[in-house]
Each structure stands twice: as C-alpha cells, then as structure tokens.
Amino acid sequence: MRALLVQEDPGGESPGAAARRAAAAIRAGAEAELAVFPELALGGYRLRGAAEIACDPDGEELATIAAACAEARTAALVGFVERGPLGLHDSVACIDADGELAAVYRKTYLFGAEAEVFRPGTWLEVVELAGRRIAPLVCFDVEFPEPARAAALAGADLLVTCAANMEPFAREHRLHAQARALENRVPHLYVNRVGSEEGMRFVGGTCAVDADGIVTHAAAGDGEETIMVEVGSAGAADSRADYLSFEPTRLPVEVRTKDHAKGGTR
C-alpha cells in the first residue's frame, strides 16, 4: 500500500482553508491509497480558541476533504477539533476512498492543558481503509503501550498516529513510534506537524516504521514536507518473536513490602 504522509504547519489557518489545502494535497498525491495529516490539522493547536475552530463531522470542512478522497480514490486520516454533543474532542476523521466518513476517533489520552479543553474518547477504533485494518491514534496516545496493543489484538494490521508533538519530546516520540510497531509486529505511520503556535515549537519527525520496528522512511527535517511511502505487512518473520501470539492471561501482582514479609508467604 502507498501512503502519503503530510508534515505541515496548519497554524493560523481557518478550518476551511486547511481543508482546502488538505484536499489539494490528496489530489496532488492521487497515486497514494491513504493520506495522513497531523493532529488538529484543521485549524491548528489552539487550546485557547478551540471552540472557534471546532467542526461538525458532517460539516463542510470534512466534506471538502471527502470530495477529494472520492475523486482521487484515496482514503484519509485528518485531525480536527470535533464539536460533539457533550463538548469538544481532539479527533481524527477516517474517510474512505469513496468519500464516506468511516469513523471518527477521539483522542483518549489528553496531554497537559488539553484535559481542560477536550473530553477524552472512551473507545478505540479499528477501521477498514485502503484494504487495511487501521488503528488511529493521536499524539499522547502513542506514549502508552495499551491502546496499540488492544487495537492489534482486535485485528489492526496498521497503526497510524496523527501528532502535534512539540519540544522537548521529539526523541521520546520516535522511540514510542518504533516500540509500538515492534511490540505488536504491526507497521506504524507517524505524522507530526511543524511550526510554532501558543508558545510551542512543533518538531516534525514524521516517519514510517515497519513491523520490525525499523524506520523505513523519515522526513528530512522540521519543515513542511510530503513523503510517499510503501507500507509493508504485519507479522514477524520469525514466529518466536511474534509477540501477539504470546499475550498472557493477566497475572496477579505480589507486592512484597517489609510488613508483608513479616506475615509470611503463601
């Protein structure tokens, strides 16, 4: 599968302008079967003004992108502020190659002040796009093993993280991106934004990681850049390192403090 990874600076744009730019990128990279954009690509990382850039899942901004997807026959994952019935969410729209909205994933792990603005998602997604079973993640989600593992156990064969990762966390995210791929034996597309907004500098680092945890493609720097990548298959070449097949039953944990030891052992 060919994927278009769009490392961009959406800061300062209106959601409508950002949607038109995303649509243009999809049409220009029509040979891709999947296009991936950063977290909050429609309007930028504006926690103080998130309500002003919020979009409805059935609104004109996503419709603009969906039309380009249908024209190019390309699926897309695009980050946006979702206006939900109970508040705002940091979400990713999953649009299929027919231009249909297949799913909306809501970020489950909120970072810092995000928790004051957004409501966390309460479920994970595995959605079929471009012939793959894709698990979308958003930025801080990738720093925890559990979401990616749960999605992989549910049948995901590709992880996709849409991020707005900033200084000083570039090294951590590269490590997490590789670890989530390796420990689940699932390829991973990681797309991060660049530029500055709300006093933060976003660090790029967009990359594609194979099921062995090896970075196969990476952005050249921290500027705007579009990368076309070939995405490999899931699974380990050696069954002895196919970690999902060894997923154990949850084990009890014995906590042995000095006071516990005085009471003896079982």
**Catalytic residue list:** 39, 107, 139
Distance set, CA 34 to CA 73, 153, 238 (Å): 9, 23, 28
User: Which amino acid, one-letter code, is at 239?
Assistant: S
Contact (CB, 8 A) for 57 and 25: no
Q: Are 162 and 38 in contact (CB under 8 A)?
A: yes
Q: Which residues fall within 8 angstroms of residue 248, CB to CB, at 6 or more apart?
A: none
Residues 6+ apart with CB under 8 A from 196: 11, 202
Amino acid at 4: L
Conformational region of residue 87, where left means phi above 0, alpha means psi within -120 to 50, and beta covers everything else: left
CB count within 10 Å of CB 232 equals 16
How far is it, in rounded angstroms, from Cα 40 to Cα 79?
4
Tokens read off for 255: 């906590």
Is residue 218 within 8 A of residue 203, CB to CB? The reply is no
